[in-house]
Amino acid sequence: MARALPSAARRPRSAALAVLLSLAAAGCGAAPTAARPRPTLGGEATIGVTDVPDDRFAESLHRVLRDGSASPDRSALLAGVVRRQLAHADKRFAGGRDARGTESVLGAIALLRSGEAQRALLDATGDRAIAGALARASQRGDEGRALALLRLRSAALPEGAPARAEVSDHLAALERWMKETRTGGPLQRLGAEERAAVGRALIDPSDEALAAATSAIGAFVDRAIQYNFELQQTRQRPEREEAIEAARALESGAETMAALYLRQGDAKRALEAIDRTGARRLIRPPLYERIRLAATDDGARDWQVLAAVFAQKAARAGDADDTPETAVAPAVVSAGLWGASLESYRRAPTAFESGMLLARSLVSLGLSEAAPLVVNDGLGAQPNLGALSAAMGLVMAAVGDGAEADDLDAARRTFAASAPILAAAERPDAKGHVEPTPARVRLLMASIEIRDGKLAAARPLLEAAATAEPTVAGFTLLAMLERQAGDGAAALGHLAKALTAPDARTARLDVAEAHALAFEIRRDGGAGASARAELDAALTWALSARQLRGDVVARARTERLLGRVLDDYGDRKGAARALDRAISAAAEDRATLGAAMLDAVARALVLKDLASARAAVRRGIDSDAPEEDLVYAGLWLQLLERELRQPGDGTADRALRSPGHGTWANKLAAWATGKLPDADLARAAQSAAQRVELDFYLAMSRKVAGDPGADERLRAIGKSPVLDLIEVQIARELYAPRARTELPGGVTVP
pLDDT single digits (tens) 670-724 = 999 999 999 999 999 988 999 999 999 999 999 999 999 999 999 999 999 999 8
Q: How far apart are CA 17 and CA 137, in angstroms?
A: 10
pTM of the complete model: 0.84
Q: Does residue 399 contact residue 411 with C-beta atoms inside 8 Å?
A: yes
pLDDT single digits (tens) 339-387 = 999 999 999 999 999 999 999 999 999 999 999 999 999 999 889 999 9
Mean pLDDT of the 59-84 span: 94
Mean pLDDT of the 149-177 span: 79
Q: How far apart are CA 226 and CA 246, in angstroms?
A: 9
pLDDT single digits (tens) 540-555 = 999 999 998 788 899 9
Q: How confident is the model at residue 747 (pLDDT cuts 50, 70, 90)?
A: confident
Render 293-351 in DSSP notation, one character per residue. HHHHT--HHHHHHHHHHHHHHHHHTT-TTS-TTTSPPHHHHHHHHHHHHHHHHHH-TT-
What is the residue-averaged pLDDT of the chain?
88
Mean pLDDT of the 1-24 span: 32
Q: Does residue 189 contact residue 132 with C-beta atoms inside 8 Å?
A: no
> Is pLDDT at 664 greater than 70 in this prediction?
yes
- Predicted local confidence at residue 257, as pLDDT: 97
What is the residue type of 469? E
Per residue, the 3-state secondary structure of 168-229, as one string, reads: HHHHHHHHHHHHHCCCCCHHHHHHHHHHHHHHHHHHCCCHHHHHHHHHHHHHHHHHHHHHHH
- Predicted local confidence at residue 97, as pLDDT: 84
SS3 at position 574: helix
Q: How far apart are CA 22 and CA 119, in angstroms?
A: 23
Instruction: Kindly report the number of other CB atoms within 10 A of residue 53's CB atom.
Output: 9
Q: How far apart are CA 661 and CA 22, in angstroms?
A: 14
- Predicted local confidence at residue 12, as pLDDT: 31
pLDDT single digits (tens) 571-610 = 999 999 999 999 999 988 988 999 999 999 999 999 999 9
- Predicted local confidence at residue 158, as pLDDT: 73
* H/E element, 605: helix 590-607
Q: How far apart are CA 212 and CA 214, in angstroms?
A: 5
> Is pLDDT at 31 greater than 60 in this prediction?
no
Average the pLDDT over each of 200-204, 299-303, 668-672, 737-741 and give the range with the smallest value: 737-741
> Angle 57-66/330-347 helices, nearest 10 degrees?
80
Higher pLDDT, 659 or 447: 447
Annotated domain spans of the chain: 1-181
> Is pLDDT at 13 greater than 80 in this prediction?
no
691-697 own/partner pairs: CB under 8 Å, 24+ apart? 692/453, 692/717, 692/720, 692/722, 692/725, 692/727, 692/728, 693/664, 693/668, 693/725, 693/727, 696/725, 696/727, 696/728, 696/730, 696/731, 697/635, 697/639, 697/668, 697/671, 697/727
Q: Does residue 91 contact residue 662 with C-beta atoms inside 8 Å?
A: no
Contacts of residue 314, Cβ cutoff 8 Å, sequence gap at least 6: 330, 333, 334, 337
pLDDT single digits (tens) 293-342 = 999 999 999 999 999 999 998 887 755 454 567 889 999 999 999 999 99
